[in-house]
């Protein structure tokens, strides 16, 4: 299972279509061997969807401590179950307020991580890496090209503006789905107590906070973890590999001790060697960490008695123990390690990755579970992609010729510059022929282009692409996540000794994906 002993370049541009494989072992015979190189069998490599992709070179051997977030990082929830329940809890709270929401239904495909709520206009938008909006829905309805252009032609999304809410984690899916449907109700005049789209968002947030929806949900999860948690038998061994390789392992979660203890035991203990529990994996455990403030402020720490949950204030952390609160500075002090010696692994683009990178300069790994679906979708779209790329090549060649002919006619008529010997009439006939061929090509391209724009998600397309460009999410990932991968157990394949090198290219995982964007005449 593990690929110990050999490292490979992950995240680099893999030119081949197949998952990379080791060269077959040579069997001597005709092959002339040099004495310095002894042929040896290779170890299996993980499939692409289980790769670790690298924006900034990371040598795991030089990392002394690895910190992990828990929710949606060490523990993966079944999104459709968890977010469905979150949606239902929110709907109940809004019903109690007298809102007509009983007919609303959760649709997990309606929004994806990385989209942005524009609370000024009641829209859900997908922007490219520059912040230009490339696809937008008002409430639940996609905007047509003209309406989208009217709304966003002069707008560049800047998350520093209060009107925008970035969907940072999978936890935001239900809330965004609810918001979009409520915008429809507001437009229909059915929410008289709401003063506009921004007020609508404020009221939804307030309902979530007041209602302690998360607390209620967590109680449901503890009562029936099989329903909500998708456990990963390999994650514990990956962590054990790291611990035995001499890394200090940390768990830093915003969840409370009782929840953390129960969920970690459920998800990890049965997959560990006999006699070990999840606590044997971690040196330091910090609960109720209040990230992102954990990385930015000097909050006090409390030691937690593991059995009773009772707490007492402490000035320092020891290298082993369970604490509540505290801050990144206390962790660094306890470990005698800082900045680039610590890797933090989490799923929240802002709290786990952006802030830890910007403020304390820890190295970062983003857990992006959707990458598995994204890469599978890319793989299954490959035949259409090749066809589309070929047609676009033909189109560009014809367009080039068309432009040459137009300028030749212009020069012949104007009596200037170099021009071919053919008559204007002959050139015009050729231009007409090219025009007809282009029209025919466009008819073949249109359905394939539409299909490529809806790869992975029928409404929003790929997570990391907006048209042919990187998405806003991809840009955030590139800026703040040194590495990204679909799940923690992918470290099992790469071992604690891997040297992850960043590729020369711009986006590591899909170097030749083609999307044809809508164009203005
Ligand atoms: Mg999390």
Cα of 169 to ligand 1 centre, how many Å?
A: 8
Cα of 369 to ligand 1 centre, how many Å?
A: 12
Cα of 37 to ligand 1 centre, how many Å?
A: 46
* Alpha-carbon span 132 to 145, nearest angstrom: 14
Contact, 324 vs 300, CB < 8 A? no
Interval 319-340 mean pLDDT: 94
pLDDT band at 266 (very low <50, low <70, confident <90, very high): very high
Cα of 291 to ligand 1 centre, how many Å?
A: 10
Q: Is 396 exposed, middle or buried (0-12, 13-18, 19+ CB in 10 A)?
A: exposed
pLDDT band at 361 (very low <50, low <70, confident <90, very high): very high
Give pLDDT tens digits for 195-252: 999 999 999 998 887 656 778 888 999 999 999 999 999 999 999 999 999 999 999 9
Cα of 93 to ligand 1 centre, how many Å?
A: 24
Cα of 366 to ligand 1 centre, how many Å?
A: 10
pTM exceeding the 0.95 threshold for the entire prediction? no
1: pLDDT strictly greater than 50: no
Cα of 142 to ligand 1 centre, how many Å?
A: 30
Using a pLDDT cut of 90, give the percent of the chain over it: 75
Question: Nearest-CA neighbor of 314 among 334, 297, 332, 295?
Answer: 334
Cα of 109 to ligand 1 centre, how many Å?
A: 21
CA diameter of the chain: 95
Q: Which segment of 85-89, 372-376, 393-397, 509-513 scores lowest on mean pLDDT?
A: 509-513
Cα of 267 to ligand 1 centre, how many Å?
A: 15
pLDDT at 19: 40
pLDDT at 438: 96
pLDDT at 364: 96
255: pLDDT strictly greater than 60: yes
Q: Which segment of 79-88, 115-124, 207-216, 447-456 scores lowest on mean pLDDT?
A: 207-216
Give pLDDT tens digits for 130-140: 999 999 999 99
Cα of 292 to ligand 1 centre, how many Å?
A: 11
pLDDT at 214: 75
Cα of 352 to ligand 1 centre, how many Å?
A: 8
466 φ, ψ to 5°?
Answer: -125, 110
pLDDT at 203: 93
Cα of 280 to ligand 1 centre, how many Å?
A: 21
Cα of 71 to ligand 1 centre, how many Å?
A: 4
- Return mean pLDDT, the chain: 89
pLDDT at 505: 61
Give pLDDT tens digits for 386-438: 999 999 999 999 999 999 999 999 999 999 998 888 999 999 999 999 999 99
Cα of 17 to ligand 1 centre, how many Å?
A: 33
Of 262 and 38, which is predicted with more confidence?
Answer: 262
* Alpha-carbon span 342 to 361, nearest angstrom: 9
């Amino acid at each position: 299972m593990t690929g110990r002993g050999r490292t490979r370049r992950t995240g680099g541009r893999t030119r081949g279509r197949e998952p990379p494989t080791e060269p077959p072992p040579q069997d001597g015979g005709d092959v002339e061997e040099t004495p310095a190189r002894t042929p040896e069998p290779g170890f299996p490599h993980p499939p692409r969807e289980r790769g670790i992709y690298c924006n900034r070179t990371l040598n795991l051997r030089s990392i002394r401590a690895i910190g992990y977030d828990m929710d949606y990082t060490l523990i993966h929830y079944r999104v459709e179950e968890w977010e469905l329940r979150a949606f239902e809890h929110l709907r109940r709270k809004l019903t109690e307020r007298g809102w007509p929401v009983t007919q609303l239904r959760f649709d997990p495909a309606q929004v994806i991580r990385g989209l942005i709520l524009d609370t000024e206009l009641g829209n859900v938008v997908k922007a490219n890496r520059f912040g230009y909006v490339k696809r937008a829905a008002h409430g639940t309805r996609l905007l047509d090209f003209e309406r989208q252009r009217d709304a966003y032609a002069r707008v560049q999304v800047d998350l520093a503006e209060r009107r925008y809410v970035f969907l940072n984690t999978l936890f935001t899916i239900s809330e965004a789905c609810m918001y979009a449907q409520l915008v429809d109700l507001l437009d229909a005049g059915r929410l008289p107590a709401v003063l506009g789209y921004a007020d609508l968002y404020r009221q939804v947030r307030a309902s979530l906070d007041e209602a302690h929806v998360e607390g209620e949900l967590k109680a449901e999860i503890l009562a029936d973890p099989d329903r909500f948690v998708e456990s990963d038998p390999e994650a514990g061994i990956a962590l054990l590999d790291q611990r035995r390789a001499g890394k200090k392992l940390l768990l830093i979660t915003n969840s409370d001790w009782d929840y953390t203890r129960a969920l970690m035991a459920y998800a990890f203990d049965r997959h560990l060697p006999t006699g070990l529990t999840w606590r044997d994996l971690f040196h330091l455990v910090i609960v109720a960490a209040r990230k992102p403030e954990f990385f930015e402020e000097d909050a006090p720490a409390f030691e937690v008695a593991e059995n009773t949950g009772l707490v007492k204030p402490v000035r320092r952390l020891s290298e082993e123990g369970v604490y509540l609160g505290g801050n990144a500075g206390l962790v660094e002090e306890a470990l005698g390690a800082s900045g680039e010696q610590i890797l933090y692994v989490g799923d929240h683009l802002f709290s786990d990755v952006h802030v830890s990178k910007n403020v304390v300069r820890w190295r970062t790994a983003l857990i992006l579970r959707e990458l598995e679906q994204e890469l599978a979708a890319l793989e299954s779209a490959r035949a259409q992609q090749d066809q589309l790329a070929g047609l676009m090549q033909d189109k560009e060649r014809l367009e080039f010729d068309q432009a040459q002919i137009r300028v030749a006619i212009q020069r012949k008529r104007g009596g200037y510059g170099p021009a071919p010997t053919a008559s204007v009439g002959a050139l015009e006939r050729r231009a007409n022929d090219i025009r007809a061929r282009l029209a025919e090509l466009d008819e073949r391209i249109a359905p394939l282009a539409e299909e490529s724009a809806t790869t992975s998600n029928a409404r929003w397309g790929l997570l990391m692409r907006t048209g042919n460009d990187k998405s806003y999410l991809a840009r955030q990932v590139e800026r703040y996540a040194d590495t990204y991968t679909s799940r923690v157990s992918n470290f099992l394949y790469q071992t604690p000794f891997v040297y992850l090198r960043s590729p020369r290219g711009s986006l590591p995982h899909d170097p030749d994906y083609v999307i044809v964007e809508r164009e203005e005449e």
